[in-house]
């Protein structure tokens, strides 16, 4: 018998635990010519803000050992254009759509949440309080437990959608933030966002990224991500979506063993479009090989003697 | 480098690129965008011409006959196809000649008069003069050290060419400084001008917004477009240099 890959995160039913990490998959349609998107467990959009955001000056991308830095700066067409031009296409994929929202003030998160509640076909929200590449908002909310709590509470009150709060690893103790958002009513937590970093051109004595600093992602961050996910899963009782450098099914399974109920794939999409489908198949193979009937049985199954 | 890729060849247009995985493992991590240099439709071959700059291109250059390559493409929007019987000026700086050969062959085959203005550091960096002439293009060359052709740059050739005759369209690929000057010469004479841009790239398909270039929107405001999916060829007047 084929193993059961279905999971439920905060009331969102997914046919498997694999989704894209926000910002690495655009608004879904960009990868349509290259893969069968409808096979994903869920689709997470790039961050949507109230007004259009132009983003940071280039260069925005720099390759690093085992990964990459990016400093996009939340470039997106804004709420109105998202609802009119992006969301209808997303609905055609026939899978749960999780909309990532970002704001400069609590009030903006509230307005975005209320608008998404009214929009057809939004399965849940991912609240970005962890972008390292914008001056206002973003990580400013995610680095301080009381601000993280305030945003979460406000979004929770503004809509009845599942609220997934995305956390930053750029903090002293991520479990403090995780507990704060859980107590404030988050339905689930996703982590990690990128690690803040920079690159320097020593010949020119200048920073390489137009924004000076950026966010590090890719396999280089995976050990950090695994540890943070494992710690957060010990600290809270709400489901966790794990991400950070997942390149293959083995990586994804490691996050689930650490306690993640689902996983997201980011930079790997750039290297190998369609890698998420291979990861889904690989998880199924693993379950067959280990005679595990349901993928949920992997969650937190790490054995520490 | 010639690669058998009939699927890509059947859809390829001048100015498009391939996004190539360079290396078997994680290094280098990202794919490398390489413009399509030429195609051979009958044999289903795509040709690449690139400069070895770092780990990715040096891996690519060391492939042996019979090796397989992991390529995405053709990607991006190419050059606008010139109208038949039009006159076309192609401006190339150094390795920027690579995609312009495909365009020259395509346009010459279309009945257009194609003149290629090619500038390079020295004679050794001047590529493909024979190929271009074979395709039916007129070629003018310049080298910075005067070892071949005019001593000067592709811009000197363009200035000269525009004094001698007009053109229906100018297309350029090369260093940013050369593109800026090409754009301004074209604007002075009101000749439509298209430039092929380069930027560090991650996804190659428009998803990550990583490879943007600054452009002027219709209302005069500044915004960013993706080099990979909105370009790599842009109307010169659209780019905020």
Q: What is the pLDDT of residues B181-216, one digit of tens each?
A: 999 999 999 999 999 999 999 999 999 999 999 998
CB contact under 8 Å between B202 and A70, yes or no, is yes
Cβ neighbours of A272 in B, within 8 Å:
21
CB contact under 8 Å between A273 and B205, yes or no, is yes
The whole-number pLDDT of residue A284 equals 98
Residues of A carrying an active site annotation: 131
The whole-number pLDDT of residue B77 equals 94
The whole-number pLDDT of residue B81 equals 79
Dist. CA A101–CA B37, nearest whole Å:
42
Task: Indicate the residue of A55, A63, A273 with minimum beta-carbon distance to B30.
Answer: A63
Question: Looking at CA atoms only, how far is residue A54 from chain B in angstroms?
Answer: 6
Which residue stretches of A170-248 are H helix?
A: 174-183, 222-235
CB contact under 8 Å between A55 and B212, yes or no, is yes
Task: Indicate the residue of A24, A75, A270 with minimum beta-carbon distance to B30.
Answer: A270
Task: Indicate the residue of A60, A247, A272 with minimum beta-carbon distance to B212.
Answer: A60
For chain A, the residues whose C-beta falls within 8 A of a C-beta of chain B are 23-26, 30-31, 33-34, 46, 54-55, 57-68, 70, 72, 75, 218-219, 247, 267, 269-273
Residue B218 pLDDT exceeds 90: no
Dist. CA B81–CA A102, nearest whole Å:
41
**Minimum CA–CA partner of B70 in chain A:** A272
The whole-number pLDDT of residue B132 equals 87
The whole-number pLDDT of residue A137 equals 67
**Minimum CA–CA partner of B230 in chain A:** A30
CB contact under 8 Å between A66 and B27, yes or no, is yes
Q: Which residues 6+ apart lie within 8 Å of B72 measured at CB?
A: A34, A273, B18, B19, B20, B31, B204, B205
The whole-number pLDDT of residue B85 equals 77
Asked whether the beta carbons of A160 and A212 are under 8 A apart, the reply is no
Dist. CA A201–CA A210, nearest whole Å:
12
The whole-number pLDDT of residue B131 equals 83
Q: What is the mean pLDDT of each run of 10 residues along chain A (305 residues)?
A: 94 98 95 95 97 95 97 96 95 95 94 97 95 73 92 97 97 97 98 97 97 97 98 98 98 98 98 97 98 98 93
Q: Name the residue among A122, A101, A84 with its Cα closest to residue A50.
A: A101
Asked whether the beta carbons of B233 and B195 are under 8 A apart, the reply is yes
The whole-number pLDDT of residue B68 equals 95
| pTM value > 0.90 | yes
Per the structure block, which two tokens stand in for A267?
């930079």
Task: Indicate the residue of A24, A61, A247 with minimum beta-carbon distance to B211.
Answer: A61
* Structure ipTM: 0.91
Dist. CA A85–CA A99, nearest whole Å:
14
Longest dimension (CA), chain B: 53
**In Å, how far are A12, A123, A144, B74 from A41, measured between CA atoms?**
10, 12, 31, 29
Question: Looking at CA atoms only, how far is residue B113 from chain A in angstroms?
Answer: 36
Beta strand residue intervals within chain A, DSSP E: 7-9, 12-14, 18-20, 43-44, 61-64, 67-70, 97-101, 124-128, 163-166, 188-191, 195-198, 200-201, 206-207, 213-217, 240-243, 262-265
**In Å, how far are A95, A181, B4, B50, B139 from A142, measured between CA atoms?**
29, 10, 50, 44, 59
**In this structure, how many other beta carbons lie within 10 angstroms of the beta carbon of residue B225?**
20
CB contact under 8 Å between A30 and B209, yes or no, is no
Dist. CA B202–CA A133, nearest whole Å:
17
State phi, psi for A117 to the nearest 5 degrees. -60, -35
CB contact under 8 Å between A63 and B29, yes or no, is yes
CB contact under 8 Å between B223 and A68, yes or no, is no
> Which whole number is the average pLDDT over B67-76?
96
Share of chain B above pLDDT 70, in %: 100
């Amino acid at each position: 018998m084929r193993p059961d890959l279905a999971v439920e995160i905060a009331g969102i039913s997914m046919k498997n635990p694999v989704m894209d990490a926000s910002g690495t998959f655009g608004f879904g349609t960009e990868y349509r010519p290259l893969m069968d998107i409808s096979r994903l467990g869920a689709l997470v959009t790039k961050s949507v803000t109230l007004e259009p955001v132009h983003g940071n000056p280039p260069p925005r991308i720099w390759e690093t050992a085992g990964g990459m830095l990016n400093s996009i700066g939340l470039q997106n067409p804004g709420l109105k254009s998202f609802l009119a031009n992006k969301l209808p296409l997303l609905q055609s994929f026939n899978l749960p759509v999780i909309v990532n929202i970002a704001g400069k003030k609590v009030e903006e998160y509230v307005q975005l949440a209320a608008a998404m509640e009214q929009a057809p076909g939004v399965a849940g929200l991912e609240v970005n309080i962890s972008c390292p590449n914008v001056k206002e908002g973003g990580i400013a909310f995610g680095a301080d437990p009381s601000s993280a709590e305030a945003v979460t509470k406000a979004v929770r009150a503004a809509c009845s959608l599942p609220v997934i709060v995305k956390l930053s690893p750029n903090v002293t103790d991520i479990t403090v933030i995780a507990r704060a958002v859980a107590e404030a009513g988050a339905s689930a937590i996703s982590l990690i966002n990128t690690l803040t970093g920079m690159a320097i051109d020593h010949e020119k004595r200048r920073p390489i990224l137009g924004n000076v600093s950026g966010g590090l992602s890719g396999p280089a961050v995976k050990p950090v991500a695994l540890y943070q996910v494992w710690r957060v899963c010990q600290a809270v009782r709400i489901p966790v979506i794990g991400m950070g450098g997942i390149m293959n099914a083995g990586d994804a399974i490691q996050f689930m063993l650490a306690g993640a109920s689902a996983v997201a794939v980011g930079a790997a999409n750039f290297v190998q479009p369609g890698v998420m489908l291979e990861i889904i198949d690989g998880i199924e193979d693993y379950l067959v090989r280990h005679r595990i009937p349901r993928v949920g049985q992997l969650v937190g199954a790490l054995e520490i003697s | 480098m010639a690669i058998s890729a009939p699927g890509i060849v059947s859809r390829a247009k001048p100015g498009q690129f391939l996004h190539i995985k360079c290396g078997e493992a994680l290094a280098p991590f990202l794919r490398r965008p390489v413009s399509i240099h030429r195609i051979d439709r009958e044999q289903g071959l795509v040709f690449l011409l690139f400069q070895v700059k770092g780990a990715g291109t040096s891996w690519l250059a060391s492939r042996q006959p019979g090796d397989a390559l992991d390529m995405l493409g053709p990607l991006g929007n190419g050059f606008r196809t010139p109208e038949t019987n039009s006159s076309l000026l192609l401006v190339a700086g150094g390795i920027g000649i690579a995609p312009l050969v495909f365009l020259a062959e395509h346009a010459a085959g279309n009945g257009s008069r194609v003149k290629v203005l090619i500038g390079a550091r020295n004679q050794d960096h001047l590529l493909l003069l024979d190929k271009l002439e074979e395709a039916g293009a007129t070629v003018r060359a310049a080298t910075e050290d005067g070892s071949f052709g005019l001593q000067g740059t592709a811009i000197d050739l363009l200035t000269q060419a525009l004094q001698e005759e007009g053109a229906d369209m100018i297309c350029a690929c090369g260093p940013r400084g050369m593109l800026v000057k090409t754009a301004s010469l074209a604007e002075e004479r009101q000749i439509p001008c298209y430039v092929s841009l380069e930027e560090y790239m991650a996804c190659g398909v428009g998803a990550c917004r990583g490879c943007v270039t600054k452009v002027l929107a219709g209302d005069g405001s500044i915004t960013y477009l993706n080099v990979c999916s909105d370009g790599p060829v842009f109307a010169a007047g659209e780019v905020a240099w």
